[in-house]
Structure formats: structure tokens, C-alpha cells
Structure 1
Amino acid sequence: MTASGPAGAETAVRPAFVLASASPRRLDLLAQLGLTPDRVFPANIDETPQRNEQPRPYVRRMAAEKAAAVAHQITEPALVLGADTVVALGRRILPKAEDRETARKCLTLLSGRRHTVLTALRCVPTAAWPDGRTGERVVETAVTFSRLTDHQIEALLDAGDWQGKAGGYALQGHAAGFIRFISGSASGVIGLPLFETAQLLRGQPGHWLP
């Protein structure tokens, strides 16, 4: 997309940058990169895992489907960034905790154990921006909780920052005081791995990042 400059010359107009998520955590993380999306357009897709679907294929599929669903609805030149995060205990995908009992079950399972957090990123250009490039990253982080007492689990539940979180906890919340080991991307656990996000955007002709 181009526009005329003051002397009649054409200058490039950067396509819109669209985040396919309503997560305030992802918005905060993008702000750390100095980025504010031009649009926030949450994807409305079915996030149910397929039968026997493993964590890595699942998180890749979710990020890809979110980005594609939003890109198909935008007619202007734009780059859409989709992301998804899952907490995996072995081959088991732990749910997003939408109620206290689900969060309690997740924290009980994670107590004293090492688990994996996977975050997938997918950027998709809209049809109106043929110069854009599709890209993907999957970031894996190992996290270990200390052994939690029943009283400590209840205290975490009372804090309330488990709501809507994969695996029933938030690294940036009260659970941080019980995490004794992390190897990988802390921002990836929160929901958007900053280094990999920056690399994806630097690979685009839109010049969002230096």
C-alpha cells in the first residue's frame, strides 16, 4: 500500500498490526517491545482438543486457526498475530481454569512436579497484503512447582489470579512464590515469548521493530 509524499513521490504505508487475542497480558507484553496493535480482534474458534491430540500439535493448531480466522475477516492490508499457550503434564493438556475446582485439580497435579508450558505464535498476512509473510514459532518452557500443602493451594485459589489461566496459575501472579525452577521463556509462560515475537516481526517487510 502506498501514499503520495509532499513532492508527489509515493511512500510505503505500513500495514495494520492486528492481535488475534483479547488477553491483557499479551497486550502488556507487546508494550514491552514498544508495540501497540492497531486492532485487537479476538478469534472466536472452538478450542476443544481433538481426540488423542498431543500438546505441541494442539497449540500449533490453535495459534494457526486463531490467526487465520481473524485474517479472513479483515479486508485491509494487515498482519495478524495469533498465539496460544498450553500447560502440559507429560502428554496431558491441562485445561484453562474457569472455576475454582478445576484450578484446584490443576494445582494438585502440578504440586512438586515438573511440567511444560508451550506457547505457539502464528503470523498471517491478510489477502490485501501479498508482501507479508506467514511465520510460526513454538516455544517450550520447563516449570517446576514446589510441593504445595492443602493450605497453600487454598491460598492460591483465594488470590483469584488462576481464573482463565492454563493450568490454573499465572507466573506473574501469586504462584510465582512457589515456582522453584524455570528453564526457557518466562514471557512465553505468561502468554507471549518476547524474543520469538520480535524475531517474527523483524522478518516482515512492515518494519514494526528495528
Structure 2
Amino acid sequence: MKQLILASQSPRRKALLTQLGYQFITQAADINESVKPNENAKDYVVRLAIEKAQGIMSVLPEQKHTQMIVLGADTCVVLDDEILGKPANEAECIATLLRLSNKEHQVLTAIAVVAEDQNSQEHNNDVITKLVETQVQFKSLTVDEIKAYWRTGEPCDKAGSYGIQGIGGQFVTTINGSYSAVVGLPLYETVQLLEHVGLPSSLSNA
């Protein structure tokens, strides 16, 4: 059985991948996450997922490539075609959540799997990707609510200044799409990609 590497130290992604029953190790990828000029949100999130997975594979000894599968993922929050990043301070958190207040926004999560192509004589690495888009509707928020939320510490490292799996979940009135993708790793799509490269889920062996 090949070794699976999750190219992330995100506790949320680790928990979701564990939930699927996979055995894996984690290794964070050191990449530049800046948005390129004129790059749209979908291209951006797919590119980062690929670069994370390829970045980890590239630092592994070449003789180990046949034994390894690397999973990369990236998530971004989008409103009116603008990527909303992590807040640098309380003021940014307030500004972001006021923009999301009483509106629908998109959460894009891309996953990328890098594994050696078994049919290639040159031992090239194959990359397969999947982009999952979820619509999230927020309730109307007040500045006092947002300030209280900021004080919990939860928004600090979250794209879009909220975590749906935590306290911020109470802001969400409806969701159309994959809940796990909003958290950081779409469960269904992840299993599909990993099975495609020969790493079945625990249920496949049941």
C-alpha cells in the first residue's frame, strides 16, 4: 500500500481525512500564496492545491515517488468575484464580516493528488484535481456580534474571517453544496481522487 501524505498542517483537514479512515502523515508545503495579477478565484485555489502537493513530492527522494501519494488542498472565500483572505486584525475581520452580512457568498475548495504515473516509462508524476464550489448564506450581523466573535480568537486564521465548523457556524442560515468542503476538505471528492490513484477508502475493503 502506498503512503499518503497530506500537504497541510491544518487540524481541520487532518480531522476530515482521519474521518475517512485513511492512514497518513502530514507535511506542510512552503509556497507563495499570493494571488497572481488577473488570476480569478477558481484558478487561484486550484493552482495552490497543485503547488502544495507538487511541493511536497518534489522534496521527497525520487526513489520514493512510486511509494507516495500526496494530497494538497486549498480553500478560499469569494464575494463578488473577490477573494476574502484571513484577517490581519480586528478591523479587517469587522469589515469582511459586514460585507458577508445578510448575503450569499461562495466557498471554493480545490484538492489535488500527485502520484507517479504507473504507465509512464519516464516515471512522471500525474496530477489530478477537483474543484468544489459551495454557496453559503449569512444572517444579518451587527458590529457588536462581530467584535465578540473576534474576541474568541476563532476568525484569526480563517479565510473569510469565520469558521463554519466552530462558533461562526451560527452565522450561516443556509448552505448549498458540500459542508466538508467549506471546512477544508470535500469528503466525497477526496475519496474519488484517492481511489483513482489506487488508494481505496476503508469501506472499499470492507
Same fold at TM > 0.5: yes
Give the distance between the partners of 2:54 and 2:126, measured in 1 at CA.
13
Q: CA RMSD in A?
A: 1.9
Select which of 47, 50, 53 maps to 2:33. 47
TM-score (norm 1): 0.87
- The letter of the residue matching 2:112 is R
1:104 counterpart residue number? 94
1:116 counterpart residue number? 106
Unaligned runs of 5+ in 1: 1-13
Does structure 1 conserve the Cα–Cα contact (< 8 Å) formed by 2:21 and 2:201?
no
Secondary structure of the 2:77 match is strand
Does structure 1 conserve the Cα–Cα contact (< 8 Å) formed by 2:71 and 2:112?
yes
Give the distance between the partners of 1:141 and 1:134, measured in 2 at CA.
23
1:93 counterpart residue number? 83
- Matched residues, number: 196
Does structure 2 conserve the Cα–Cα contact (< 8 Å) formed by 1:80 and 1:126?
no
2:175 is aligned with 1:168: no
Percent identity over the alignment is: 38
Q: Deviations over 1:78-132 (max 9, x none)?
A: 0000000000002100012243222222111111111000000000015899597
Indicate how the Cα distance of structure 1 residues 149 and 122 shifts in structure 2: closer, same or farther if over 3 A, else same: same
Indicate how the Cα distance of structure 1 residues 98 and 126 shifts in structure 2: closer, same or farther if over 3 A, else same: farther
Q: Relative to total residues, which structure has the larger helix share, 1 or 2?
A: 2
2:177 is aligned with 1:184: yes
Select which of 47, 59, 82 maps to 1:61. 47
Does structure 1 conserve the Cα–Cα contact (< 8 Å) formed by 2:2 and 2:68?
yes
Which stretches of structure 1, 4 residues or more, deviate above 4 A after TM superposition?
Answer: 126-133
- Greater C-alpha radius of gyration: 1
Give the distance between the partners of 1:70 and 1:147, measured in 2 at CA.
41
Select which of 2, 20, 30 maps to 2:7. 20
Does structure 2 conserve the Cα–Cα contact (< 8 Å) formed by 1:132 and 1:204?
no
